[in-house]
Structure 1
Amino acid sequence: MRPKLSVSELSPRRVVITGIGLITPYAAGREASWQKLLTGQSATCLLDDLSRQLNRPIAGGVIPDRQLSSTSLSDQIPLQREPSITLALNATAEAIQDAGLDMDQLPRETAGCVIGSSKGGMAGFAQMAELPRMPPEQAAQVPTAFWQQCFPSAASQSVAAHYDLQGAALSTVSACATGFSSIMRAADLIREGVCETVFAGSADASLLPAVIGSFQRMGVLATDFPSPESACRPYDRKRNGFVVGEGAGILVLESLEQALKRNAVPYAEWLTGSLGSDSTHLMQFDPTAQSLSRLISSTLNRSQVTPAEIDYINLHGTGTQINDLYETRAIQNALGSASSKIRCSSLKGGMGHLLGAAGSVELGFTLLAMRDNLVPPTVNLENPDPECTLNYTPLKPVPQEIKTALKLSFGFGGHLVAGLIRKWDPSL
């Protein structure tokens, strides 16, 4: 059970996280996703249609109920709402319920959202290509604003409109670091006094030939896997790439003052977040890992957290040869001898790489790990790479109290994000 808030002297503009909404390849919901992650089993599968179109086996993480991401515009028009919008709306609804927010009482003028997308509505773009082929009478019924769902800001705008939010409505775009960047920006809005409540996170639905084909040409997808469930192997000596998944993660962030007023029970307090870049290469980073090492060190210094205080690191861990080693070296350089004692894990072996949604979904799981005092496993890590020497929590969860956690997210093009959260303690 999370401890109840007590009235205490407040530091100005402290930020807490009070609600979590998750839709993942494990399940369409927070608790079901978490329980399946803890089994140590993979949710990735063979994508038959994409495998046929791209003429090679393609594994991926598909949300169990595709109806959650495929609502029709109308019975007369054979077009679907952009799936990432529907995913964001469903995850937001779960987060609101989890936070115990009464939307009838929520001050709309101080409520906003920061919901990102790594690339906009790719499914919407694909459907637009079909418009010239539609019968004229059907094409005439397509809303003139249909093309707007292709914007990276479409999910954020849709959530703001659905809940009549009148505070800031933003959308960050930082490739696969988008989800975590969105949460960091939301925390800043609260600290700066712009908002009291922010729905923050990201959604991604990119299991499409154009996207998967591009990753295939880049050479970053897992190949030659014995089974689709074992395709992605973070930190394993046999790792050779990631698999793409879809999903959404939305968190409710609030000022501590507002949370106290409504007697909320936070999961954690947001301590700080930092941004950096390493533009060595579009798909790879500097092998010395200097940029990420500096980012981790500066994040700890800003929050006055020592390496010894970190109980868990939620890794980016894509399962590519170079980047997994890069992340390992950066942590070792930044944290020194303490790095070998800290439990870590990557969640991509079990659900795939959710691209723009990865950071927010993974932070949601990190909060649940704090709540339940369980370090989630790195799925498929059977033969550890001798050069990757951190404690990656292979295969099975491990009971351990988690008070302070570090989260890392990266993106193609060199985007780097690091952030710290601390389990809520009403005495602090």
Structure 2
Amino acid sequence: MLTVKAAKAIGGRIVLPPSPDLLLLSSVTALGAGRPMRIAPVVSCPLTEGLRELLAPALDIAPEGDQWRVTPRQDDDAGSITLPAASFRFRDFIVFLLLGLKKDIVFAQTPAKAIARWQSLARSAGCEIVSKDRNGGAALSLMSSEAFAIPAAADADALHALLGLAMGLRRRISHQIDFHFPSPLRILLPALGYAFTLKSAGEGAENEALAKRMRFLRARKKSDQGVSYLLNADFSAGSNDEAAITLPGDDILGSILLAAKGLVQRGNLVVENMPLEPWATPVLSLLRKMGCRPAVQETGATSGGRVGMIQLQRFDLLGRKTDCTPLYQYAAHIPSMVVLACFAQGQSVLRGLGALRDDEPDGIERILTCVRALGGRHGEMPDGIVIDGAKQLDGFDLDDDLPPSLGGAFAVAGLKCLGATSIADTGLSQRWPGFAAMLDEIGEYRK
């Protein structure tokens, strides 16, 4: 158990470790591209060792200092990969990429609602996913893909998943959208040698065939905001050369630290190596909506985009409404946003969370269980959460093991509470073995 004491100040300088989520995403895209890859930096921890074991049937992963050398196994044309039933980041993209590569995906426990959603999405794209019982779990296979096409009405979450299928099937796609598509794939895929562009649809077409398709899509789908973009991706050909991938910092830990600083504003905390791209900064965006003017300085570039250092200035925590769309961008940051809402003035509303109910256990209910343990007041919607903030709450206990993003967010909530807080830290120690020491380093505790 992790014990957290009330803090009167938070300060210091934290350099974020590399993101294990981007490590997994990069490794799987190496498999999809069928090319070797060097990924750096990689910090060994129980979570990264678990990822090596998870990917071992399809990838030869050789640690070399602070790097991974990843090579797709050539003898795995008809292999299978076992994935955890619990949700993980970028899961839809990864599942569809593996299915497109003709891998069987095995779940030791069946995530029934998620499987039903994937099957429905595949049908909308002209494909068929078959689920069969296997040793008490489920095995998924892609049985039909000849008619694959991204539906005109695909939203950002659907498009993100179907890009994985297009990559696995080695297809070219051209699709008009009315959103800017915040995703690390926009930078990662070109680093793998794939043509991937997102341009304003008003910039013109490269040829008459493309121009005709754009006119057709405009007729089928109009932008709510009057702005549309054309996404082009070509997965039909790639390079066999070794790719070099540089990982950004762990944005989930960065968001947890920004939430901690928003709760305890005395002191000066600098968070370094924080990804600055929209896909990684929902909490920073929420803080800005609350009135905070963060000091942000770009310091470098990675295969996940720009990174830099962030400092928060003093501000008033105010309740705000947030549409958490696309959900793949927000999901792992929602716990930190909820913790900020619990201490904000007024009411906060988070919408667009409906797919979290497909998780097992129910993702929304799991968050609300933690809110109730904290003593927060909440309401519930089918696709969201309503929270009435409180200026002060008491220390609390969470005995159930939680995902790191959830456990970490409610651990820093304890810094703002009166009295001690205890959090089950098995998940935390898997991802961030030094989490408790980090809190002690930055926190000046009340006596």
TM-score band, normalised by the shorter chain?
under 0.3
Q: TM-score, normalised by structure 2?
A: 0.24
Q: TM-score, normalised by structure 1?
A: 0.25
Higher RCO, Cα 8 Å, sep 6+: 1
